[in-house]
């Protein structure tokens, strides 16, 4: 939330600066510029040209005002707008009477700089600098080429240039700094977010690993310890069966982290794979569609398959029949008596049927209808 | 496997399948069957089913996909309309294909994962003009949620489901506390109900007629409409 607030504040700040700059420019062009122009209109050789130059500046400022109201920037019109301002400046200087550079008659000297600045306020600083130099250079060319400048004239021009370039430049610098600040803030915010995500991922995988280890420690670790200290003999068929069951449980555990369309079938395939490697021929067949059961339920459903397959002698058939209200996982295999696992989650029922050498174990889960919130 | 007097006569079957390994396997199963079944190999030539020794065969074992990924329902329809008794033997395991074949009038639909323990009884049943429902087809019927499907009783659905899951009628009987014969009855009733809906075909109407004659199902049960649940 605070990030959003910061961003809003920054946008408001930039917007405010744009308004302030436009007001200053308007005051300069329509106040000082226009009064000087009107006061010395009869001095000009071609008053119409001067008025046209003034109208050009006025049009650019009006454009900025319109864009500001609509919350847009100059975009592709920026180049033409600057060209208009520089053309107005050149036009005004070409028809300016000799020896009048940077005097009261030279109204455009202190007006065109602001008109250009409002157009370039959201551009890099160098654009504003180049524009101001271009404008100042136009005035200097007029002074040097068309007049015979005295030392006094040059001094007046230099003093004038300080305010003509200096003030708009200050505004442009402030705008640039403001932009730099918000870019840096955005970058650091992204960096902080990245670090936070990485931390959360690391914490979650650590938690998962510990949880997996805790789950294995109940059944797998005693088996491994027994094998290591020699109390369990690998040639014992009971030990072999336990190993097969633990191997399948581990495969299932690893498969639980996979992202697949049907986790139940995916985990069943992993359980079956262990039996496949032992040489048991396993068929897997599934019909219907079912909601994805939670991990704990999937473990209960696959546990029966896992235990029967670990004991199966040669062949087994694993089937899943599902609907919205019942998911049933069945295994039929030629194995002797096996212990019926007791499900850990409510809603799961395991039934076993022994017929000669064949065991049919079925785990059923009834999803509790979830209220849609 | 109830001994049937009709089953004792020598049955001839013609197989259309472009895979020689399948034909060789089926031939070996047929010759090992007791009593053996005489198998005629038509290869991938459908013409051999219509002419020569294949034309007189009791049962047609039909590979639905002689052209890969293009199940030939049209040829199945022609065979059935001509009165041939067809066992579809397909590598397809999707339910819609299985149910469509049954609707067209095939007496049995088996996937190629199902071996002699289902194919041989299916050929014998087809020779008698009776349907055979293998576990895969049973699964397809259970999962069928077509609005036009016939209405099955709860017990029929249970039996179909158990037969699909266990693939053993003894297990189904033990699980549901009924006899293996009753298991067959329930499955047969389901097939009669399916034969009574959809497209008309001679094999289907024969099936329904015989079921009514035998008292396997009553007209009232047969005409129960689809559940309006």
Shared domain check, A169 and A85 = yes
- Residue A171 and residue A273 share a domain: no
- Provide the number of CB pairs (under 8 Å) joining chain A to chain B: 49
- Is residue A52 located within the same domain as residue A147? yes
pLDDT given at position B6: 47
Identify the burial level of B144 via C-beta atoms within 10 angstroms of its C-beta, where 0-12 means exposed, 13-18 middle and 19 or more buried: buried
pLDDT score at A1:
46
pLDDT in tens, B72-101: 899 999 999 888 999 999 887 788 889 999
End-of-domain residue from the set A139, A168, A191: A191
The 3 state secondary structure assigned to chain B is CCCCHHHHCCEEEEEECCCHHHHHHHHHHHHHCCCCEEEEECCCCCHHHHCHHHHHCCEEEECCCCCCCCCCHHHHHHHHHCCCEEEEEECCCCHHHHHHHHHHCCCEEEECCCCHHHHHHHHHHHHCCCCECCHHHHHHHHHCCCCCCCCCCHHHHHHHHHHHHHCCHHHHHHHHCCCHHHHHHHHHHHHHHHHCCCCCCHHHHHHHHHHHHHCCCCHHHHCCCCCCC
Match 């599934």 to its residue by tokens. Answer: A286
Instruction: Dump pLDDT digits (tens) for A103-124.
Output: 777 888 888 888 888 888 888 8
> In this structure, are A24 and A172 located in the same domain?
yes
Is A373 domain-assigned?
no
Q: How confident is the model at residue B119 (pLDDT cuts 50, 70, 90)?
A: very high
Identify whether A246 is part of a domain: yes
Non-local CB neighbours of A260 within 8 Å, separated by 6+ positions: A266
pLDDT at B225: 57
Q: Given this model, what pLDDT does residue B109 score?
A: 94
Same domain? For A239 and A182 the reply is no
Nearest CA in chain B to A361: B166
- Output the six-digit token pair for B14: 């013609």
What average pLDDT does the structure give for chain B?
Answer: 86
CB contact under 8 A, A285 and B139: yes
- The 8-class DSSP code of residue A41 comes to G
Domains, chain B, ordered by start? 5-222 (3.40.50.2300)
Residue of A nearest to B138 (CA): A287
Residues of A in contact with B165 (CB under 8 A): 317, 319, 321, 328, 330, 332, 360, 362
Residue B165 or A216, more confident: B165
* Position A229 pLDDT exceeds 70: yes
Asked if the model's pLDDT at residue A2 lies above 70, the reply is no
pLDDT at residue A144 in the model = 81
Over residues B132-159, the pLDDT tens digits come to 999 999 999 988 888 888 888 889 999 9
A47 within domain boundaries: yes
Note whether B166 contacts A283, CB cutoff 8 Å: no
pLDDT attached to residue A216 = 78
Cβ contacts of B166 on chain A, cutoff 8 Å: 317, 330, 332, 360
Same domain? For A334 and A272 the reply is yes
Tell me the per-residue pLDDT of B37-48, one tens digit each, with 9 for 90 and over.
Answer: 999 988 888 888
Q: Distance, in angstroms, between A72 CA and closest chain B CA?
A: 57
For residues A93-102, give the mean pLDDT: 75
Instruction: Enumerate the β-bridge partners of residue A348.
Output: A365
Min Cα separation A279/chain B (Å):
18
Between the two ends of chain B, the Cα-to-Cα distance in Å is 38
Percent of chain A surpassing pLDDT 70: 97
CATH number where A305 lies: 3.30.565.10
Residues A36 and A165 in one domain: yes
Top pLDDT among A197 and A214 is at: A197
| Strands (DSSP E) found in chain A | 281-288, 315-322, 327-334, 348-355, 358-365
Q: Are residues A16 and A88 in the same domain?
A: yes
B161 vs A contacts (CB less than 8 Å):
321, 328
Domain match, A170 and A33 both: yes
Does residue A287 belong to the interface with chain B, where contact is any CB pair within 8 Å? yes
* Average pLDDT estimate for A266-284: 90
The answer as to whether A207 is a domain residue is no
- Which of chain B's residues have a Cβ under 8 Å away from the Cβ of A288? 142-143
pLDDT of B108 above 50: yes
A212 domain-assigned = no
Predicted local distance difference test score (pLDDT) of residue B59: 94
- Same domain for A50 and A141, yes or no, is yes
Distance from CA of B53 to the nearest CA of A (A): 37
Q: How confident is the model at residue B208 (pLDDT cuts 50, 70, 90)?
A: confident
DSSP one-letter string for A155-190: HHHHHHHHHHHHHHHHHHHHHHHHHHHHHHHHHHHH
* Residue B227 pLDDT greater than 80, yes or no: no
By C-alpha distance, the chain A residue nearest B137 is A287
Same domain, yes or no: A302 and A166:
no
- pLDDT bracket for residue A264 (50, 70, 90): very high
Question: Do the chains contact at A353 and B140, CB–CB below 8 Å?
Answer: no
Q: Report yes or no on A314 lying in a domain.
A: yes
User: Is B165 close to A321, i.e. CB distance below 8 A?
Assistant: yes
Interface test with A, best of B136, B139, B162, B165 (most A CBs within 10 A): B165
Phi, psi of A281 (to 5 degrees): -85, 115
The whole-chain average pLDDT of chain A stands at 85
Query: Pick from A191, A216, A247: which residue ends a domain?
Result: A191
Residue at a domain's end among A191, A206, A221: A191
Q: Which residue of B has its CA nearest to A358?
A: B171
User: Which residues in chain B touch residue A358, judged by CB atoms under 8 angstroms apart?
Assistant: 168, 171
| Residues A266 and A178 grouped into a single domain | no
The pLDDT value given to residue A209: 83
Q: How many domains does chain A have?
A: 2
Amino acid B3: pLDDT: 44
Q: Which of B136, B140, B165 sits opposite A330 (nearest CB)?
A: B165
Boundaries of domain holding A137: 2-191
Structural domain includes residue A220: no
Helix axes of B154-166 and B135-143: crossing angle, nearest 10 degrees: 140
Of B140, B161, B174, the CB nearest to A355: B174
> A 41-100 residues with CB below 8 A of B?
none
Q: Is pLDDT above 80 for B166? A: yes
Q: Which of A321, A327, A362 to mutate to test the interface with B (most CBs of B within 10 A)?
A: A321
Among the listed ranges A91-100, A127-136, B43-52, which one has the minimum average pLDDT value? A91-100
Radius of gyration of chain A (CA): 42
User: Does residue A369 carry a pLDDT above 70?
Assistant: no
Whether residue A221 is contained in a domain is answered as: no
């Amino acid at each position: 939330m605070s990030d959003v607030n910061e961003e809003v504040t920054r946008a408001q700040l930039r917007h405010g600066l744009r308004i302030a700059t436009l007001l200053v420019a308007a005051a300069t062009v329509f106040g000082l510029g226009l009064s000087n122009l009107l006061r010395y209109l009869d001095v000009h050789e071609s008053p119409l040209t001067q008025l046209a130059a003034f109208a050009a500046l006025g049009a650019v400022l009006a454009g900025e005002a319109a864009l500001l109201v609509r919350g847009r920037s100059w975009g592709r019109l920026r180049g033409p707008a600057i060209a208009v301002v520089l053309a107005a400046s050149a036009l005004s200087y070409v028809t300016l009477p000799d020896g009048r550079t940077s005097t009261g008659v030279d109204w455009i000297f202190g007006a065109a700089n602001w008109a250009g600045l409002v157009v370039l306020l959201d551009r890099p600083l160098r654009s504003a600098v180049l524009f101001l130099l271009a404008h100042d250079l136009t005035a200097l060319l007029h002074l040097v080429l068309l007049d015979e400048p005295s030392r006094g004239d040059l001094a007046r021009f230099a003093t004038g240039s300080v305010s003509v370039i200096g003030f708009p430049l200050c505004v442009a610098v402030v705008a640039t700094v403001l932009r730099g600040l918000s870019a840096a803030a955005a970058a650091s915010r992204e960096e902080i977010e990245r670090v936070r995500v990485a931390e959360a991922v690391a914490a979650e995988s650590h938690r998962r690993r510990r949880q997996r280890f805790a789950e294995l420690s109940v059944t797998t670790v005693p088996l491994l310890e027994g094998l290591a200290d020699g109390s369990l003999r690998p040639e014992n068929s009971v030990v072999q069966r336990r190993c097969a069951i633990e191997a399948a449980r581990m495969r299932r555990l690893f498969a639980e982290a996979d992202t697949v369309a049907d986790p139940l079938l995916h985990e069943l395939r992993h359980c079956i794979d262990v039996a496949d490697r032992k040489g048991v021929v396993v068929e897997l067949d599934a019909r219907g569609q079912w909601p994805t059961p939670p991990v704990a339920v999937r473990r209960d459903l696959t546990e029966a398959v896992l235990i029967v397959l670990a004991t199966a002698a040669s062949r087994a058939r694993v089937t899943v029949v599902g609907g919205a209200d019942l998911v049933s996982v069945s295994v039929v295999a030629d194995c002797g008596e096996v212990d019926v696992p007791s499900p850990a989650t409510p809603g799961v029922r395991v039934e076993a049927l022994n017929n000669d050498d064949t065991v049919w174990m079925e785990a059923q889960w009834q999803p509790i209808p979830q209220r849609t919130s | 496997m109830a001994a049937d007097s009709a089953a004792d006569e020598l049955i001839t079957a013609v197989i259309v399948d472009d895979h020689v390994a399948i034909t060789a396997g089926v031939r070996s199963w047929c010759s090992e069957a007791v009593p053996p079944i005489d198998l005629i190999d038509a290869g991938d030539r459908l013409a051999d089913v219509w002419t020569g020794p294949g034309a007189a065969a009791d049962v047609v074992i039909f590979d639905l996909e002689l052209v890969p990924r293009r199940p030939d329902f049209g040829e199945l329809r022609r065979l059935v309309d001509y009165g041939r008794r067809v066992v579809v033997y397909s590598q397809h395991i999707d339910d819609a294909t299985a149910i469509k074949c049954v609707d067209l009038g095939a007496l049995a639909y088996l996937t190629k994962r199902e071996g002699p323990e289902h194919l041989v009884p299916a050929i014998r049943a087809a020779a008698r003009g009776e349907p055979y429902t293998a576990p895969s087809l049973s699964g397809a019927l259970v999962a069928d949620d077509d609005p036009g499907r016939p209405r099955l009783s709860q017990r029929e659905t249970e039996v179909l489901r158990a037969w699909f899951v266990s693939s053993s009628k003894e297990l189904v009987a033990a699980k549901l506390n009924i006899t293996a014969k009753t298991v067959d009855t329930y499955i047969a009733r389901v097939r009669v109900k399916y034969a009574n809906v959809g497209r008309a075909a001679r094999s289907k109407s024969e099936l329904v007629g015989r079921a009514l004659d035998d008292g396997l199902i009553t007209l009232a049960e047969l005409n129960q409409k689809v559940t309006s649940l």
